Structures are given as structure tokens and as C-alpha cells.
Structure 1
Amino acid sequence: MRTLELGSPGGLRDELNALVLDGAKTATATLLAEYAEEAEEIEFPGEILALLGNDGAVLGELRVTAVTTVPFAEVTWDFARAEGEGCTDLAHWRRSHLAYWRDVEGRQVDDTTPVVCLRFTLPAPPTG
């Protein structure tokens, strides 16, 4: 099973993981270039991913429901809202993501930069 580590290690990862576990975050955006750099294949619908915490422990399993790759300028508000990070509109989402990729990851992103838009669910634990 492949893993998913959200954001950067530390407080941000804790915050994002909490949003996933609370059901508020059902999507995440990653630059396509990161997949090539890490020699990773893009996720696919139906794939199960282990959500990892800062210590590498598995916090839950996510089922990938959709994956699309679009230029940064074509990320939709529907997708951005599904990220559940408190953005008030698409312009806010774009500013916050550009700042993260620039300031935290040291990446330059423009309207044509390919972004992988991943949607997922946190399946309910089995009962009984």
C-alpha cells in the first residue's frame, strides 16, 4: 500500500491530517513535477493509501475517488473547497497555494504549471 503525507512535516501536517480525519478535507493538490522527482506514479481511482502522521504512523486509510491533472489556472472552486482548508474563494485558494509552494517548497508556479488534483474518502471503519 502506498502512503500519503500531506503538507510539510510539523504543525501543518497535523492540521491537514486532522481535517481529513474529521471529514472536512476530501481532496489535495500536488504539483505534477513532484511525482517525477520522487519517481512516483500518479494515484488512481480505487487505490487505497495509508495516511501518515509526522511520526510515520498510519492514521487511516483513504480510498482515491478521482484524479485529474490540470494547469494551475484551471483548478476549480469545487475542488479547492473540497480541500477543506478554510479558503473563502478560489482567489484565496490560489494565493495560499502559490505562497506555500514558493515559500515552503521553493517552487515557482504559474498558471500553466500542472497540478494533480486528488479526491479521496475516509471509509468508515467496519462495524461489529
Structure 2
Amino acid sequence: MENREALKPCLLAFPGPLRDQLVAAVLDGRKVSTSGLLLEYETENEELPPVGERSALIDSDGRETAVLEVTEVRVLRLADVDLQHALDEGEGYASVAEWRAGHERFWHSDEMREALGDPEFTVDDETMIVAERFRVVERLGL
């Protein structure tokens, strides 16, 4: 795409194997949703993405790999995440319990706790989650 305006970056996880796995899942169509902590948005003083917003999906090497468009944003309690959202994350989860266990590992990681500025951070049923759906508008540099 030539002469396009700069897009906000879409950063899934932290650079490394997990980000690479997630970017690959987006590019091959398995991943059409993602989850974040509402607290992350608050900590970074960032607005929730509006439906229709476009962003550039960034790989671990900092390259733009695709243009994504937000199609839905829901804020809900961790306890209210549904099976369809878990399946649409494209990470192979067969149940909400599997999805939650995987995400708790990530959210309780040293990297995430450092990013949040809370070395003791933990989630529970009442933790607010941002469940975002998106579609690939264009693949870049492939």
C-alpha cells in the first residue's frame, strides 16, 4: 500500500515466540479476536479502539505485516468470557477454562507485571477484559 497514512501499531503479546505465533494465526485466518486487560488501557492512558479503527499488525522484528480493522469491542468480566471468543483467538483452546489458564499465565508473567507496574498483579473473576474482534484488511510485505 503506497502513500498510506501511518497506522497505530497492533502489538500482540511481547516480542518473541508468542507474538510470532499470534501474528501467524492472524495472517492465516485462525485468529480473529484478542483479549487485553482494561487495566492495560488505563495504565497506558489509552482509549479503547473504536469500531472501524485500523492498525498495523507488528511482528517481533518490528515489521508491519497486515492492516487490521476493529469490528467489535466488548468490555466484560473475566468470568463472562464466552467459548466463541476463546475459539476465535485462534490459539487452539477447546474451552474457556483452557483459554483462561493460558491468559492467566501471560497476565501473571513477569513481563506483564512489570508493564503494569505491579509485581503482585493477579486476575480474578471480576477483572475487566477488553475482548476485541478484527479482520485483516490487507497483508503487507509478504
Q: TM-score of the superposition, structure 2-length normalised?
A: 0.84
Q: Secondary structure at the match of 1:122?
A: strand
What letter corresponds to residue 122 of structure 1 in structure 2? V
Could you say what secondary structure the match of 2:60 adopts?
Answer: coil
Note if 1:96 corresponds to 2:110.
Answer: no
* Match 2:77 to one of 71, 74, 77: 71
Which runs of 5 or more residues in structure 2 are unaligned? 1-6, 114-120
Unmatched tracts of structure 1, length 5 or more = none
**Is 1:4 the equivalent of 2:10?**
yes
Question: What's the CA shift string for 1:87-115, capped at 9, x where partnerless?
Answer: 11111111111121112423310000000
Given residue 122 of structure 2, which amino acid in structure 1 is its aligned partner? Answer: Q
Instruction: Give the corresponding residue for 1:111.
Output: 125
1:25-60 deviation digits (Å, cap 9, x = unpaired): 000000001011112111111111110111221111
Identity %: 40
Work out whether residues 67 and 138 of structure 2, in 8 Å CA contact, stay in contact via their aligned partners in 1: no
- Which residue does the alignment assign to 2:39? 33
> Matches of 2:97 and 2:42 in 1, distance apart?
28
Distance across 2 between alignment mates of 1:40 and 1:56:
21
TM-score (norm: length of structure 1): 0.92
Matched letter for residue 115 of structure 1: I
How many Å separate the matches in 1 of 2:97 and 2:22?
A: 20
Distance of 1:101 and 1:92 partners within structure 2 = 14
Aligned structure 1 segments of 4 or more residues deviating by more than 4 angstroms:
none
- Tell me if the contact between 2:68 and 2:138 (Cα under 8 Å) persists in the aligned partners: no
AA partner of residue 23 (structure 1): G
Q: Residue 123 of structure 1 aligns to a residue in which SS? A: strand
